[in-house]
Copies of this chain bind each other. A is one copy, B any other.
């Protein structure tokens, strides 16, 4: 069987709708358009929605910015503010919220390094609250941050590291940043997904087996992710479907041709995918050539968004000018 690989709720919904009419049962969607961007809020309300979309109940907000890649600074700033607004909108932060930011992913693998790079950009303040023995501050909130690495580097489940730290430092909120895989190239580096469900096993472009979610960590977890790759097997599969679909559209229903097209089996397709991608399968990704600089840009946009969302006395002008 070929598995379409995506970490975006919005794409799971699209896949449902490719095969069915109407909205996904148990799911509510609202869309909001701005200049240069679209915000889509997919709410999975119950078990049915959860089963259809393969994701836990909760809110999945997608900010789509088709021109983010070549955005000027004004649009980037706009997106940082929008991200901050959506994070706040989830409703779990105020001035007294103690946050632990977790940058997931492997810093040695470029398209997986988004999380650690965002961590380098956030304003970490918890040490000052400790040093001055304070509970609150007029300008900044209590924020800690860590990049725990991946199991191949540490030998330890990422979830265990984070849980150990949560138990020692008792944050009110965990924000986890991760690089994602999308199904479509057009979403790579142009879409930000924010969710109140945390990171669940199998998500992200690495393989995590323990979830980073409220159930496991005992505190709410907001997940922020951006697709940085398309899985190559998914792209090859979609390409085959496209060409088959294109031929079907000109064939007459009922002809031998049409039924042959109908019958191209999953196994045949899988064999062809293997032929194209071996010997690297399943670890081949499709990614823009300039992914290194794209990740740098994204980490600034997201880092700024987090700084505005979490620190009540900090606005965009401050983050651009006073934090580096």
Contacts and interface: CB of A to CB of B under 8 A. Distances in A.
A110 interface: yes
A321 interface: yes
A90 interface: no
Contact of A272 (B166, B243, B283, B322): B243
A77 to B, nearest CB: 9
Nearest to A70: B279
B151 A127 contact: yes
Q: Among the interface residues A144, A154, A247, A291, which one has the most CB atoms of the partner chain B within 10 A?
A: A154
B287 A284 contact: yes
Contacts of A185: 276-280, 284
Nearest to A167: B164
A251 to B, nearest CB: 7
Contact of A322 (B73, B144, B279): B73
Given A165-B164, A276-B185, A322-B72, A243 B246 contact: no
A182 to B, nearest CB: 12
A297 B278 contact: no
A235 interface: yes
Contact of A247 (B260, B290, B292): B260
B272 A280 contact: no
Contact of A260 (B124, B130, B165, B257): B257
Given A108-B292, A276-B238, A284-B288, A161 B154 contact: no
B126 A155 contact: yes
Nearest to A259: B257
A290 B109 CA distance: 6
Nearest to A148: B146
A289 interface: yes
A154 B276 contact: no
A4 B264 CA distance: 26
Interface string A266-294: 00110010011111100111111111110
13 contacts: A73-B321, A108-B293, A144-B155, A164-B165, A186-B279, A229-B289, A242-B276, A243-B244, A246-B268, A283-B289, A284-B287, A285-B289, A296-B324
Interface of A: 66, 69, 72-74, 108-112, 124-127, 130, 143-149, 151-157, 160-161, 163-169, 185-186, 188, 190, 205, 229, 232, 235-236, 238-240, 242-244, 246-247, 250-251, 255-257, 260-261, 264, 268-269, 272, 275-280, 283-293, 296-297, 320-322, 324
